[in-house]
Amino acid sequence: MANLVMGYWDCPICGTKEIRGDVTNCPSCGRARGEVQFYMKGYNEGETREENERADIEYLDEEQAKYVSKNPDWYCSFCNSLNSDNAETCSNCGASRADSEANYFEMLQKKKEREAAEAAAQPQPVQPQAKRRNPLLIFAVILIAIIGLFVWMNGNKTAGDLNVTALNWVRNINIEENRIFSESGWTLPAGAEQTGARNEIHHYDSVLDHYEYVDVQRSRQVIDHYETYYTYDDNGNGTFTEVAHERPVYTTEYYTETVQQPVYVQVPRYQTKYYYNIWRWTPSRDVTASGEDHNAAWPEVTLADNEQEGQKTERYSFTVEHQKEKKAAETYALAESDWRNINVGDQVFITEKRTGAAPYLSDKDGNKIADLVRIR
């Protein structure tokens, strides 16, 4: 047999709280219950209680439960009073139950519908509308700002207080030496002189050898026991019915399973490896010439019988000093044809982008004359 729990109600007339559910008139103002909703102390609708969380539940004993009807109270349509299911006439006004059709739950549903309709009928406060900004104007402002930033970032900074204080040129020839190298490999290069060959391990292949049985630990979730929890249903007559539910409690179970696993062995694969001598041209030394004038020339080279000229490199640069600003001297490299047009004592203009792009030689208006590479 399900346990019955005492419910409570609040007087809608005088506001008296926690009136027992078996009391049909407010003990403070004497008014009949009318439209009320029953509740349990310390319990919210929809909550659950565990087995050990029911100490504060106010149960009805067997004697009290015998006089409680299992049906909800009925609602008097004439005086708005709730009456026990056992009563055939209204305890407040004497009207016949037959003339009143609604019960407690229907009364609650109509009350909720009425409150919802009243809320919908209430005039909604008019929210002051924020002044809307013209999206085209906002877009135009942002676009102008982006264009302005782009133009500024790509703008030029031209320095015009620069005097050329030095010229410099460097020409270098790398000398290569023909040397013999002892090497080995899986193929014999063209022009190599073979000195030997033998079978050696080229790589290993994983080959299935056999299967073996091993014990592997597994786990699974199994039901350990069931635990009881409770919910409470409003009977609509000042009491609640305690409903017991069960749910499984799981535990992790470990077990050993014997499985078959493959075992692989590493099998060496052999291939012919060649040993040989081979002649190669290899960088050996540098021959360099330099100067501080326009008389650039390649250095004179004397080659041994096993030498040849390799890669040639050259660099032409000039150094400038700031006349108006206290800055360190700067050195730039450029193409030879442009370098030959620069002399010590010349005043030059160097322009660079604010974005940090490479500087270039220019006229006073920033027009490019030659590309530069800053050395220091």
Mean pLDDT, range 93-111, rounded to an integer: 82
Please give the pLDDT value at position 290. Answer: 97
* Residue closest to 84 by CA, chosen among 236, 248, 302: 236
Q: Taking a C-beta distance cutoff of 8 angstroms, is the pair 96, 71 a contact?
A: no
pLDDT band at 152 (very low <50, low <70, confident <90, very high): very low
Rounded to 5°, angle at Cα 181 from 180 and 183: 150
Please give the pLDDT value at position 144. Answer: 73
* Residue closest to 335 by CA, chosen among 350, 362, 320, 314: 314
Please give the pLDDT value at position 155. Answer: 44
| CA-to-CA dists, residue 250 to 51, 218, 221, 369, angstroms | 18, 16, 6, 83
Q: Which residue has the higher pLDDT, 112 or 279?
A: 279
DSSP output for 239-280? EEEEEEEEEEEEEEEEEEEEEEEEEEEEEEEEEEEEEEEEEE
List the single range of 76-90, 272-286, 320-334 with lowest mean pLDDT: 76-90
Write the pLDDT tens digit of every residue in 133-151. Answer: 677 777 777 777 765 555 4
Percent of the chain having pLDDT more than 70? 91
Q: Does the pLDDT of residue 1 top 90, yes or no? A: no
User: Other C-beta atoms within 10 Å of 199: how many?
Assistant: 9
* Residue closest to 272 by CA, chosen among 338, 207, 337, 196: 196
Q: Taking a C-beta distance cutoff of 8 angstroms, is the pair 257, 234 a contact?
A: no
> 180: which strand partners?
279
Q: Which residue has the higher pLDDT, 60 or 120?
A: 60
CA distance 218 to 328: 74
Percent of the chain having pLDDT more than 90? 59
Mean pLDDT, range 50-67, rounded to an integer: 88
Please give the pLDDT value at position 75. Answer: 82
pLDDT band at 180 (very low <50, low <70, confident <90, very high): very high
Q: Taking a C-beta distance cutoff of 8 angstroms, is the pair 218, 198 a contact?
A: no
Mean pLDDT in the chain?
88
336: helix, strand or coil? helix
Q: Which residue has the higher pLDDT, 127 or 350?
A: 350
Please give the pLDDT value at position 294. Answer: 96
Mean pLDDT, range 176-203, rounded to an integer: 97
Mean pLDDT, range 119-125, rounded to an integer: 77
**Model pTM above 0.75:** no
Q: Does the pLDDT of residue 79 top 60, yes or no? A: yes
